[in-house]
């Protein structure tokens, strides 16, 4: 079920891990319990062409070993060439309905949205989930909008109760609880894990916290 995949959604490219080897960081994150991975290779010195393909392929193989879905940010052709598990696009990328047509109905399609109107169009185009943010200030995205807290998430969750939402932007284990209170299925994050001294430990702590929150919310947990 898509909601379980979205619980702890790690996003990373080669520019996000400072001096650490991104492949090592990804493996530690996988060992720590991330539930989904998005390959987001962006920035001035980011990998291009064949180098990008080979790096993405390595990441995907690692994800497959841990049975964690591998999603490609923006680059639909790369996702198709790799037979990735899905694609995530923003509002400035290819139109969601076109992407859905290209990748087929069985792949995961995620769309970043910033208001109810964009959420409406995303679900109409066949998005499996939407990303809403930035919840808090972030330094991981150059063109990030003004942080909106969880207000937009609440509005989208109210209007489209069956559309899974992930919150994104500046999220850490200390500040993620409001995302779930606002109806989020999970958190998407870069630096909390990619810049952590111990990415495995960090991912493990994040996962434990999220699982605890979601267990409390589950109707089954009311009947011990």
Q: Which of the ranges 40-48, 50-58, 74-82, 152-160 carries the binding residues for Mg ion, by CB under 5 A?
A: 74-82
The bridge status of strand 36-39 relative to strand 129-132 is: unpaired
Active-site option among 40, 107, 204, 209? 40
Nearer to ligand TZP, 143 or 222 (CB): 143
Active-site option among 141, 173, 195, 207? 141
Residues within window 128-147 making contact with Mg ion, judged by CB under 5 A: none
Report yes or no: 130 and 165 within 8 Å, Cβ to Cβ.
yes
Residue keyed to tokens 């994040």: 206
| Count of residues near ligand TZP by CB under 6 A | 14
The dihedral through the CA atoms of 166, 169, 174, 177 has a sign that is negative
To the nearest whole angstrom, how small is the minimum distance from the Cβ of residue 119 to ligand TZP? 15
Active-site option among 112, 140, 191, 209? 112
- Give which of ligand TZP, Mg ion, none residue 133 binds (C-beta under 5 to 8 Å, depending on kind): ligand TZP
What residues are paired with 71 via a beta bridge?
38, 86
Nearer to ligand TZP, 191 or 202 (CB): 191
Residues 6+ apart with CB under 8 A from 2: 108, 128, 129, 164, 185
Report the SS3 class of residue 102.
helix
Residues 6+ apart with CB under 8 A from 181: 150
Which residue among 170, 183, 184, 199 contacts ligand TZP (CB under 6 A)?
170
- The catalytic site residues sit at 40, 112, 141
């Amino acid at each position: 079920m898509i909601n379980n995949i979205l619980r702890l959604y790690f996003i990373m490219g080669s520019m996000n891990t400072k001096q650490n080897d991104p492949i090592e960081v990804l493996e530690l994150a996988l060992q720590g319990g991330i539930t989904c991975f998005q390959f987001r290779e962006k920035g001035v010195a980011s990998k291009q062409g064949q180098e990008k393909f080979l790096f993405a392929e390595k990441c995907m193989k690692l994800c497959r070993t841990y049975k964690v879905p591998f999603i490609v940010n923006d680059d639909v052709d790369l996702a198709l060439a790799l037979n990735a598990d899905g694609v995530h696009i923003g509002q400035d990328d290819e139109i969601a309905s076109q992407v859905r047509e290209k990748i087929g109905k069985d792949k995961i399609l995620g769309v970043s949205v910033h208001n109810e109107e964009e959420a409406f169009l995303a679900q109409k185009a066949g998005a499996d989930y939407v990303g809403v943010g930035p919840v808090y200030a972030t330094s991981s995205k150059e063109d990030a909008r003004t942080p909106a807290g969880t207000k937009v998430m609440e509005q989208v969750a109210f209007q489209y109760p069956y559309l899974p939402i992930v919150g994104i932007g500046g999220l850490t284990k200390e500040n993620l609880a409001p995302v779930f209170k606002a109806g989020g299925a999970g958190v998407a994050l870069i630096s909390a894990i990619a810049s952590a001294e111990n990415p495995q430990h960090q991912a493990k702590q994040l996962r434990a916290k999220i699982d605890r929150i979601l267990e409390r919310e589950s109707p089954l947990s009311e009947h011990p």
